[in-house]
Homo-oligomer: A and B are copies of this chain.
Amino acid sequence: MSENKIPYKIYLEESEMPKQWYNMRADMKNKPAPLLNPATLKPLTAEELIPIFCEELVKQELDETTPFVDIPQEIQEYYKTYRPSPTMRAYHLEKALGTPAKIYYKFEGNNTSGSHKLNSALAQAYYAKKQGLKGVTTETGAGQWGTALSMACSYFDLDCKVFMVKVSYEQKPFRREVMRTYGANVTPSPSMTTEVGKKILAEHPGTTGSLGCAISEAVEVATKSEGYRYVLGSVLNQVLLHQSVIGLETKIALDKYNITPDIIIGCAGGGSNLGGLIAPFMGEKLRGEKDYRFIAVEPASCPSFTRGKFAYDFCDTGMICPLAKMYTLGSGFMPSPNHAGGLRFHGMSSTLSQLYHDGFMEAVAVEQTQVFEAAEQFARTEGILPAPESSHAIRAAIDEALKCKETGEEKTILFGLTGTGYFDMYAYEAFHDGTMTDYIPTEEDLAQGFAGIPKFPGNEI
């Protein structure tokens, strides 16, 4: 193997790192539909968003024409502490599969948040600090985003209030302690610290919480506290913009060795990783310069792309957030409790939804036991213990590589390895013990979710 010219890990020098983010929307002919005010059904204005989000982030959210945005120097400095992330050649996995395909992966797990989430957390904390804010609020489920934001806030000396879904708070005490190490204030949600939390607890005394409820609490605290704003780790256009650093680095690394991927694969929950990884490649496709196959991989238990509707829907289960046009299962849809990984969001980034709708991207849904089989094979060959979310992409990459084995094609496959699974060992335990099951929503399950999609002229589904 030593005669290979491509190293196991392609690194960039600091001087080679991206200095600008890339905004895919600038190259899209069909722009993603705007966010709507749920009361007026009119596009949300900057003025309406500024009480909730930081000003610069609102600007980024609404800007669909600027292709490149300078990465502020201070963010670049923090990126340098854990970036560039390596673009890896999966030699050992290829060998184990016996495939002629060449497999690459971009590994985003080598930072304490354990995932790519830090890329956007740093940007959002920076803009909050620049605006002179005291702090930010957010929600977290599994805890990756909360950890990333805690880190970013400790760097920029901002207060960080995290509402953590109660069941996760109790089942994942380690995640909570990591956030506390970075100085964050972590509250199990629903809590008695907000009006909405009190109301929910009064109505459902035994509830273990939900992401939708945690969002509502975080938004309430942000809007009612002087000097605070709310921040979000996925779905939004601003997040995809920041995450483009993943794809930009990957492209620079591959270009150094004249490698052109045939297939680019990413897992898809809200779309932050997928949108970031594919960004510069999709840009080439949108501009007609090059063609690539893009594959979004989602859990069969939460199949927004493959079985959802393309419609305006609420982003939260509490139905207080703006309406976004996206592939959605309905804001009331909940994946079965046996679903172990993340990727539980009922909708999908508007930008990615539009690209999928316009045929620029494919999507597949995979079942979780297959996902953990792929995760274990990957761990045993490549060494890295992948997050369940990331393992969806591994599953699809292995499947494509096995197709190449059948056909003899030497395709080049690139996938995003978004993070590590160190805090997901209960799920691995269930897999090892054979107690993990699969779940595919029935048509009835889906119909129930779809029933929650708001009905108004132009939003027929």
**Contact: A429 with B81, CB < 8 Å?**
no
**Contact: A177 with B92, CB < 8 Å?**
no
- Is A439 part of the binding interface, using a Cβ–Cβ cutoff of 8 Å? no
Within 8 A of B (CB), among A83-122: 88, 91-92, 110-112, 114
Q: What are the interface flags for A169-213 relative to B under an 8 Å C-beta threshold, 1 for contact and 0 otherwise? A: 000011001101111000000000000000000000000000000
- Is A82 part of the binding interface, using a Cβ–Cβ cutoff of 8 Å? yes
**Contact: B1 with A180, CB < 8 Å?**
no
- Is A11 part of the binding interface, using a Cβ–Cβ cutoff of 8 Å? yes
Q: How far is the CB of A24 from chain B (nearest CB, A)?
A: 28
The answer for the CA separation of A272 and B415 in the assembled complex, in Å, is 36
- Is A385 part of the binding interface, using a Cβ–Cβ cutoff of 8 Å? yes
- Is A428 part of the binding interface, using a Cβ–Cβ cutoff of 8 Å? yes
Within 8 A of B (CB), among A346-364: none
**Contact: B82 with A181, CB < 8 Å?**
no
**Contact: B383 with A80, CB < 8 Å?**
no
**B residues less than 8 Å from A14 (CB atoms):** 7-8
**Contact: B76 with A173, CB < 8 Å?**
no
**Contact: A13 with B7, CB < 8 Å?**
yes
Within 8 A of B (CB), among A13-45: 13-14
Tell me which of B81, B177, B426 contacts A425 (CB under 8 A).
B177
The answer for the CA separation of A151 and B381 in the assembled complex, in Å, is 9
**B residues less than 8 Å from A385 (CB atoms):** 112, 178, 181
Q: How far is the CB of A175 from chain B (nearest CB, A)?
A: 8
- Is A2 part of the binding interface, using a Cβ–Cβ cutoff of 8 Å? yes
Q: What are the interface flags for A374-404 relative to B under an 8 Å C-beta threshold, 1 for contact and 0 otherwise? A: 0110011111110000000000000000000
- Is A68 part of the binding interface, using a Cβ–Cβ cutoff of 8 Å? no
**Contact: B380 with A183, CB < 8 Å?**
yes
Q: How far is the CB of A131 from chain B (nearest CB, A)?
A: 22
The answer for the CA separation of A422 and B174 in the assembled complex, in Å, is 8
**Contact: B92 with A81, CB < 8 Å?**
yes
- Is A432 part of the binding interface, using a Cβ–Cβ cutoff of 8 Å? yes
Q: What are the interface flags for A144-178 relative to B under an 8 Å C-beta threshold, 1 for contact and 0 otherwise? A: 00000001001100000000000000000110011
- Is A258 part of the binding interface, using a Cβ–Cβ cutoff of 8 Å? no
Kindly report how many copies of this chain are found in the complex they form together. Answer: 2
User: Which of A11, A14, A112 gathers the greatest number of chain B CB atoms within 10 Å?
Assistant: A112
- Is A435 part of the binding interface, using a Cβ–Cβ cutoff of 8 Å? no
**B residues less than 8 Å from A429 (CB atoms):** 173, 177, 180
The answer for the CA separation of A183 and B432 in the assembled complex, in Å, is 10
The answer for the CA separation of A132 and B59 in the assembled complex, in Å, is 64
**B residues less than 8 Å from A92 (CB atoms):** 81, 155
**Contact: B112 with A151, CB < 8 Å?**
no
**Contact: B7 with A376, CB < 8 Å?**
no
**Contact: B112 with A110, CB < 8 Å?**
no
**B residues less than 8 Å from A292 (CB atoms):** none
Closest to A73 in B: B2
Tell me which of B9, B82, B384 contacts A383 (CB under 8 A).
B82
**Contact: B2 with A77, CB < 8 Å?**
yes
**Contact: A422 with B425, CB < 8 Å?**
no
The answer for the CA separation of A127 and B376 in the assembled complex, in Å, is 25
The answer for the CA separation of A423 and B80 in the assembled complex, in Å, is 26
Q: How far is the CB of A400 from chain B (nearest CB, A)?
A: 22
User: Which of A80, A173, A381 gathers the greatest number of chain B CB atoms within 10 Å?
Assistant: A80
- Is A304 part of the binding interface, using a Cβ–Cβ cutoff of 8 Å? no
Q: How far is the CB of A97 from chain B (nearest CB, A)?
A: 15
Task: Tell whether A383 pairs with B81 under 8 Å between CB atoms, given A110-B110, A425-B173.
Answer: yes
- Is A237 part of the binding interface, using a Cβ–Cβ cutoff of 8 Å? no
Closest to A429 in B: B177
- Is A420 part of the binding interface, using a Cβ–Cβ cutoff of 8 Å? yes
**B residues less than 8 Å from A182 (CB atoms):** 379-380
**Contact: B382 with A81, CB < 8 Å?**
yes
Q: How far is the CB of A18 from chain B (nearest CB, A)?
A: 15
A-B residue pairs, 9 tightest by C-beta = A174-B425, A177-B425, A154-B380, A8-B80, A112-B385, A422-B422, A7-B14, A177-B429, A177-B428
Residue contacts A-B, CB under 8 angstroms, 5 given: A2-B76, A82-B383, A173-B429, A177-B429, A177-B432
Other than the given A112-B379, A177-B432, A183-B380, 11 more pairs (CB < 8 A) read A9-B81, A81-B92, A81-B382, A81-B383, A92-B155, A111-B383, A178-B425, A180-B428, A181-B380, A182-B380, A422-B422
